[in-house]
Amino acid sequence: MKPFHSRSEKPIRFLPLKTTDTSKEDRLIILAKIFFNYICTLLTTIKMKSLKTAIKLMLILLMGIPTISIAQSLTVISGNFDFLKDQKELNIEFDYSPLTFYNEKISEDEYVKRRIKEISDSKGKTEGEIWKSDWEQSKTNDFQNKFISLMNRNLKIIETNKNPNAKYTLIVQSVWIYPGWFAGVMAQAAKVSTRLKFVETENPSYVLLEIDSEKAPGSAYGGVANNNDRMAEGYAKTGKSLAKLITKKIK
């Protein structure tokens, strides 16, 4: 079999990554992209006997490229779980006021403006307006429904965002979101960070338990193409992880 590169060809060299302004997750993305580009380069230099053989090799190689995801962490900041032991119901509220995006930590308003411009420039102004409407719908419905649904599925306490008569309220403060990306054979999950505050419903200033949830991954197997849907999966993961933590602590 002939070598991939003749003597006249220069070998492929990988330049060192500049990591000063990149996080660990960003460096993983860069490495994955370099690997994928390298594989594509190899395929173009190999003389295949048939198209069928080339397709088989491509599929084998692509199976080795996983969806990039980051593990979630839950940290108790203050308080304990004792007050939840005899509870049958819990009220839930969602607060997006402290929300920021990307490593730059831009505000929600700036994020919305950027997305509308990106979509309007590529697909037209009408599509930009449609996305804006979808974003508001995602915040008020999809994110909340996903969170509550996974909480109820994994916890005996019934949670709802329409139960002001419940003794305690869980305030889900959205702190930071990385929307992730999707490129067919490769993808990175969204990451959702929240602060979870348990307070007395009649006295919200009294915090009984406070938990930080960092970088809950938002994606399904094989990746999710829509940004808002990926974020919704991040809220689902947060709800599921919190429910399991509560169940463990109140046994």
Q: Higher confidence at residue 70 or residue 147?
A: 147
d(CA 160, CA 126): 35
- 56: confidence class by pLDDT, cuts 50, 70, 90: low
Q: Report the pLDDT averaged over residues 92-101.
A: 97
The confidence band for 186, taking pLDDT boundaries of 50, 70 and 90, is: confident
Specify the 3-state DSSP secondary structure of 99.
Answer: coil
Residue/partner pairs of 30-33 with CB below 8 Å, 24 or more apart? 32/65, 32/68, 32/186, 33/186
Residue 14 has pLDDT above 70, yes or no: no
Check pLDDT > 90 for residue 116.
Answer: yes
Give percent above pLDDT 70 in the chain. 70
Any idea what the Cα angle at residue 132 is, between residues 112 and 226, rounded to 5°? 85
21-44 residue pLDDT tens: 445 555 555 555 556 565 666 556
Q: Region 123-133: what's the mean pLDDT?
A: 95
pLDDT exceeds cutoff 70 at 15: no
130-135-136-141 Cα dihedral, nearest 10 degrees? 120
Least confident of 64-78, 165-179, 227-241: 64-78
Q: What are the C-alpha distances in Å from 219 to residues 135, 178, 194?
A: 17, 12, 17
Q: pLDDT-based confidence at 194, cuts 50/70/90?
A: very high
What is the pLDDT, as a whole number, of residue 57?
A: 57
Written as one string, the DSSP assignment of 179-236 is --EEETTEEE-EEEEEEEEEEETTEEEEEEEEEEEEEEEE--TT--S-HHHHHHHHHH
Match 């490229």 to its residue by tokens: 65
Rounded to whole angstroms, the Cα distance separating 14 from 74 reads 37
Mean residue pLDDT of the chain comes to: 82
Give the C-alpha separation, 51 to 46, whole Å: 12
pLDDT band at 66 (very low <50, low <70, confident <90, very high): very low
Of 146-150, 157-161, 170-174, 243-247, the least confident: 157-161
Q: What CA–CA distance (Å, rounded) separates 194 from 238?
A: 8
| Three-state SS at 157 | coil
Residue type, 227: N
Across 101-105, 114-118, 224-228, 240-244, least confident range: 224-228
